[in-house]
Structure 1
Amino acid sequence: MKKLRNCYVFVFDQYSDWEPALVTYGLHTFTDVNIITFSIDGQPVTSGGNLQIIPQQSLQEAMTADIDLLILPGGAPMEAGGHPAILPLIQQLVASGKSVAAICGATVFLAQHGYLDTIPHTSNHPDILKMMAPTYQGSALYVQTPAATGDNIITAAGTAMVAFATEIFTFFGLLENPQLQFWLGFFQGNADIPVIETASPLHFFYRRYETNLPGLLPLVRSAIKALYPVAIAAGLEICGAPEWHYHGFDGNPDTVFTLDIGLPVTEVLSVPAPYHCETLPVFDCVGMQHPGGWDKLGDTYGKLITGIQMLGIPMTGSNREQYLRFSFEHPEQNITNVQIGVSKA
């Protein structure tokens, strides 16, 4: 596994500022990697998005720096073969086994100078490399993927910002960091990431318990079973899966909290004590589905809480679990929808 301590990002007038953005944010937020920007002369530059960038160093300073990864963004100047002054730094890093990551127009720049002739690589399109890099000899090694790694050189298409970041994080083993992996999942479109939602008002028939964590176990097989005959006798029409609603549960096994175990119904009717039937208001929450046994529910709660903390949204202390499918004989087939209440105010 490659070690990444210092990441240098080359900036220049009209560079495509979005292309290295995901990488640098992920490194800065979730790792202790140093990120240093530099320009040819160390003077401010204006990005393609009209951002005014003040580099931390010049190319001369970068030439003597301890660089583990050099990121080369794209942009029209790179495609046109501009900034040849950067070539000695690239050569120095490649010769010493350090890493270079290029995206979009920067892959054209590498192709123009022979760096892609002998390694697997990608770009915006192989024909673009042939057209814009007349001396390019690496078409047989072109890989039809958004991002690719060949030796210590990482390449990516201009539309593949997420794949570019993923390739870099993977190359350096950084996705072993669960927070970085989880954050990146938002951009990768993973199914197992939290979703901010507002649950509609709910007609809910339930019984309330005051319990702690050890007290949950006796309720698992009995509480829901007892609800159905009472609901039917009261003339209620059940319209959804069983639900457990937690209020004031903080994860401490000894904390006593309120637990409402019940069923969604189509209308509110009078029911005998100790049961209740009422319309619950809208429920702002962050939720996701948990597949498999309930012994791993803690992992899903961990992901949800991590996501909520990253979003900076306060939690209300009310959570819901909806048992969309459950089997005591085959718990691996369970599907549980978990919702943690949040405050949008």
Structure 2
Amino acid sequence: MKAQRNCYVYVYNGYSDWEPALAIFGLNNFTDIRVVPFSLDGRPVTSGGNVSVQPQQSLEQAIAADIDLLIIPGGTTIASSSEHEALLPLLRKQLDSGQLLAAICDATAFLGNHGLLDQVPHTGNDAQVLQMMAPAYKGAAHYINQPSVTGGNLITAAGTAMVPFTKEIYTSLGLLDKKELAFWFGFFDTAGATLKFSHVPPLPFFYRSYEVNMAGMLPLVRTATLEMYRQAVGAGLEVSGPVQWHYHQFDGNPDTIFRLDIGLPVTAPAPVPAPYKCETLPAFDCISATHEGAWDKLGDTYGKLIGAMQVLGIQMSGYNREQYFQYDFNQPDQNITNVQIGVIKP
């Protein structure tokens, strides 16, 4: 059985708490990687933001561990205090073993002053600042003027580059194929802007409403769609998109009765007989994601999206849409469904 991967984070008095925060939050909440803060002696420390931190281990324990990712944040003393030199055996062990070492801000100066940047591509707060803070630094030929750089198994970053630093970590660990993590991180990573708020314009929609619970919804999966296509053709409507299901105040409880609108986008609203409606729906603010595969796994996609939204403090409107771009009842793994979760924009 493969051992659980881990991430050790060095914490010390005055460390810059924001620098590793994004990376370790994502690791702890959206992956199975265990985050382990450690200090020199295992005793509590106070971060630069005056946050008291209780480490889980000491440096001695960390040296004895098999570490997949070691993060060294910057801070007020990392490049100037000799107490941190006790870390050097651990850092060299990490690099020699081929495991990831990630240093940010003044921690790059600490590495540079002890020869760990001399032969590897790296970055820092600034080339001249790095030379000034690390008099023994001899790696200027390998300095790259970018927010964050990966050279072999060493990741370095400027102190202002928390997001690029995090992205290099996730990329090096092969984590960005995890949809939940990628969605959440997408809100911070402006360079990969596929995950963002969407403003859906007003939609001419031909539909029928149902009051159902989860059990009552299931028989509609095939019958309602066929009915709507037949009625649309009979009414002379021009269909302009795939079938959609709109959920009003559905809370995920199988017993909750909620309103479900099943219908088709059309080019223009028109009079239709009851129980059908054809009207232009108002514009819709949402966060969307594409679910590929069987519908019995849609709950997983919703759970991941809603979890990420709760983390970010995004308020849901209670109105969600599903657009069925492709569906195959014989090969449900070929289904492509666009999930749109309505949000209340601040």
The alignment's TM-score, normalised by the length of structure 1, stands at 0.71
1:216–1:168 Cα change, 3 Å? same
Task: Kindly indicate whether the alpha-carbon contact (under 8 Å) linking 1:122 and 1:143 is maintained by their aligned counterparts in 2.
Answer: yes
Task: Kindly indicate whether the alpha-carbon contact (under 8 Å) linking 1:41 and 1:59 is maintained by their aligned counterparts in 2.
Answer: yes
Shift of 1:222: 6.8
> Please, what is the CA RMSD of the aligned residues?
4.3
Q: Map residues 2-13 of structure 1 onto 2, 5 A cutoff.
A: 5-13=5-13
Name 2:75's counterpart in structure 1. 75
Task: Kindly indicate whether the alpha-carbon contact (under 8 Å) linking 2:9 and 2:72 is maintained by their aligned counterparts in 1.
Answer: yes
1:51–1:159 Cα change, 3 Å? same
1:15–1:142 Cα change, 3 Å? same
Question: Which stretches in structure 1 are left out of the alignment for 5+ residues?
Answer: 231-239, 324-335
1:67–1:289 Cα change, 3 Å? closer
Name 1:124's counterpart in structure 2. 125
Task: Kindly indicate whether the alpha-carbon contact (under 8 Å) linking 1:40 and 1:59 is maintained by their aligned counterparts in 2.
Answer: yes
Answering whether residue 221 of structure 2 is matched by residue 213 of structure 1, we say yes
The alignment's TM-score, normalised by the length of structure 2, stands at 0.71
Q: Amino acid of the residue matched to residue 123 of structure 1?
A: G
Q: In 2, distance between residues paired with 1:39 and 1:119?
A: 27
1:153–1:219 Cα change, 3 Å? same
Give a deviation string over 1:111-148, Cα, whole Å, max 9, x none: 01110000111111111112222221111111222211
Q: Which has the larger radius of gyration?
A: 1
Name 1:55's counterpart in structure 2. 55
Answering whether residue 277 of structure 2 is matched by residue 259 of structure 1, we say no
- Secondary structure of the residue aligned to 1:60 is helix
Give a deviation string over 1:68-110, Cα, whole Å, max 9, x none: 2221000121232542222222123223333321001000100
Question: Which stretches in structure 2 are left out of the alignment for 5+ residues?
Answer: 211-218, 326-336
Give a deviation string over 1:203-240, Cα, whole Å, max 9, x none: 9674537783334665787766777779xxxxxxxxx9
Task: Kindly indicate whether the alpha-carbon contact (under 8 Å) linking 1:242 and 1:263 is maintained by their aligned counterparts in 2.
Answer: no
> 1:193 pairs with 158, 172, 195, which one?
195
Aligned residues: percent identity? Answer: 41
Give a deviation string over 1:170-198, Cα, whole Å, max 9, x none: 1122223222222221211233225287x
Q: Amino acid of the residue matched to residue 193 of structure 2?
A: A
1:226–1:74 Cα change, 3 Å? farther
Name 1:64's counterpart in structure 2. 64
Answering whether residue 161 of structure 2 is matched by residue 160 of structure 1, we say yes
Name 2:14's counterpart in structure 1. 14
- Secondary structure of the residue aligned to 2:86 is helix
**Aligned residue pair count:** 309
Q: In 2, distance between residues paired with 1:272 and 1:94?
A: 70
Name 2:34's counterpart in structure 1. 34
Name 1:102's counterpart in structure 2. 103
